[in-house]
Structure 1
Amino acid sequence: MFVNRRDVQIQWGDCDPANIVYYPRYFSMFDDSTSVLFEKAGFSKQDLVHKYGLVGIPMVDTRAKFYIPSTHGDWITIETKIESIKRSSFEVKHNVYKTADLAIEAFETRVLVGRDPANPEKLKSAPFPAEMVTKFTGS
């Protein structure tokens, strides 16, 4: 299974007046982590658009469990992987570590989308390309 890890330093603007990361900022970090996961797996944004005819990988559901807070200046590690793949939707899991401790577990459901061939002004789910399935799942 393909996993990407990236280190992120908490910035002043990530924090609320109590100097704790304001939770929506994490969801922005998770979105970036999903994009980086695709890039590190060899599927750039340009590949998604030009090679696979996709226009994006929108999130349709998300949730998180917060265990340990982070503050300005802290370093966290975000570990991102695709847990499961269906026809066009997939589940992403982000584990956030502060030092060696699990600080957050976050979950996303995303969908591959492209232009609807019957009406290019509309979007339509697109099947997961086999080479992506192989890369992300190892099978």
Structure 2
Amino acid sequence: MGIKWFKETNDMSIIKSKSRKIEVNGESYRWLVSKCRKWWSGDLSIAIEKSEDGRKTLVVDPGFARPNKFTTADLWTGIVKPANVREYIIYARENGWDPEEKGSALLLIWEKKILTNDIGQNNWISKY
């Protein structure tokens, strides 16, 4: 069992001690890159929520895999940087994400620029 990505509560908020802070347009957010349970998994997701009064989490599928020693040449890998997170937040806010609204998490599929409530397709909840 690895590090828990989210607290085991109904609100599924990000664990503060494991997250990083970022400020975008005068608002403070916390973000966290998923921790995979399986050593062979290249999946990568980013969870973002507002630092204060954050109720709706944004989960981002950046469109690339986690680099590891088992990555093949045909698999596009990358590293998440604060500049990427800033871009995800700005795009999501401009397209309807309200982090202070109650409700289920939103999924942003970055490659396709899709913001959806259908988080089942990413299976992000199991990435501890």
Same fold (TM over 0.5): no
Which is higher, the Rg of structure 1 or of structure 2?
1
Q: Which has a greater percent of strand?
A: 1
TM-score, structure 1 as length reference: 0.31
Q: Please, what TM-score do these two structures have when normalized by structure 2?
A: 0.33
Compare relative contact order (CA 8 Å, sep 6+) and give the higher one, 1 or 2.
1
Bigger helix fraction: 1
